[in-house]
Amino acid sequence: MGVTQRRIREREARVALILDAALRVFTSRGLHDGTMEEIAEEAELGKATLYYYFPSKETILSTLVEKTIERHFDGIRENAQQATNPLEAASAIIRGFAANYERTPDLFRLFYMALISKTEDVAPAVRAFGRYHREWRKSLQEDVRDALKGTGISPEILVSFTGTHVHGINLLALSGRDLKALVEDAISAVGALLGASSRGKP
């Protein structure tokens, strides 16, 4: 491994260490009360090192929210593209989001904390979420378009509808509800509604 590659890997490892520490601080202390000093201490780094990688708490929050979005959609597009009908498409989206939540629940906890926060230091993170979410949602709509041909169901409506279910699932899971049961209930509900929609077509 060359010097340049080693430095890149060292930098990536240091950034990951800081973000993991920040996630622990924010989810335990809150987005407003968690401080750069606490993040540096949690990461076992000096404050100067922390500020070298992240000049402010706002930049850490924005990076964590962007990381949440990446994790949120990880692998879902590939599965959605394989769907051959609306229920398969909806199931791929719901199961994919739930699996990603299960891998990193604290990231999703932070994500919801950021969305409901009223403080200015969180505003850049919320804007980052909105930007990334719109881009991913449009991509996902294209991914399910073939599965919906001839059904009268628009990709925009299916993605929006299942996305609403996903947020509800995540919030209920954060409150202690069984994730697997929530997923199965959501898929059954979507399947019933899709069936009713199909029967109601002229």
Q: Are residues 47 and 63 in the same domain?
A: no
The model's pLDDT over 5-17, given as tens digits with 9 standing for 90+, comes to 888 888 989 999 9
Q: How far is CA 127 from CA 101, 116, 197, 200, in A?
A: 21, 13, 35, 39
Q: Are residues 92 and 146 in the same domain?
A: yes
pLDDT of residue 126: 80
Judged by average pLDDT, the poorest of 13-27, 93-107, 111-125, 150-164 is 111-125
Residues 6+ apart with CB under 8 A from 130: none
Q: Are residues 60 and 8 in the same domain?
A: no
Q: Are residues 49 and 60 in the same domain?
A: no
The residue segments making up the domain with residue 48 are 1-55
- Count of domains observed in the chain: 2
Q: Which two tokens stand for residue 116?
A: 């409901």
Q: State the Cα–Cα distance between residues 103 and 82, nearest whole angstrom.
A: 23
Q: Domain containing 9 — which CATH number?
A: 1.10.10.60
pLDDT of residue 6: 83
Residues 6+ apart with CB under 8 A from 123: none
pTM of the model: 0.79
Q: Are residues 109 and 190 in the same domain?
A: yes
The model's pLDDT over 118-138, given as tens digits with 9 standing for 90+, comes to 777 778 778 877 888 888 889
Reported as a pLDDT band with limits 50, 70 and 90, residue 200 is very low
